[in-house]
Amino acid sequence: MNEKKINPDRAIKVGAKKIHDNRKFMYDEVEKTHQKYLDKNGFYKLNLLEKRVKCPLCSSIKIFHIFNKRGGKYSICKNCDLVFLNPVFKNKELIKYYKNLHDAQSKVTLKEKKFYSKIYLSGIQIVNQYIKKKNFAFDIGCSNGLFLDLLKKMVGKIPMVRN
């Protein structure tokens, strides 16, 4: 790879808080999308959800509410200790939620292409040390494809999986 070596310690030199403050618009954009799914009490809108009466992992009915976070109510299975959102988005609502969230994240990533390219190239350099077959990579959940565009320059053809 002919790219300039990325220094991962930039956050220490510049200050992580300063970097994050300068990019707060990303959080705001994603938060704006998330807020569309909340009711006036700050919980996910009930018409978008369905209650689970069994654990999604082991099918036990021994599930109990343990906490609320960012609009969701979370339960734990006393049989296998899985913690999960309950109630959960209905399938069609979950697809809409992630599509809208993806659109918000993609807009920000593309707006800040130079910034994210540096981060992704640093990640590629690290991951590259562990890749045995250098002419092939597979990325599941490739978002807007910026990471893959950079990776493709290094390995060639890359299959992508998106929903």
Type and span of the H or E element at 76: strand 72-77
Residue 45 in this model has a pLDDT that exceeds 80: yes
Residue 31 in this model has a pLDDT that exceeds 50: yes
Q: Give the rounded percent of residues in the chain with a pLDDT score beyond 70.
A: 72
Model-level pTM?
A: 0.54
Distance CA 141, CA 157 (A): 16
User: pLDDT confidence of 97, banded at 50, 70, 90?
Assistant: confident
Residue 154 in this model has a pLDDT that exceeds 90: no
Residue 99 in this model has a pLDDT that exceeds 70: yes
* Chain segment 102-121, per-residue pLDDT in tens: 777 777 777 778 878 888 88
Buried b (16+ CB within 10 A) or exposed e, 86-107: bbbbeeebeeebeebebebbee
pLDDT in the model for residue 141: 64
pLDDT in the model for residue 66: 96
**Domain limits, the chain:** 52-86
pLDDT in the model for residue 73: 94
User: pLDDT confidence of 63, banded at 50, 70, 90?
Assistant: very high
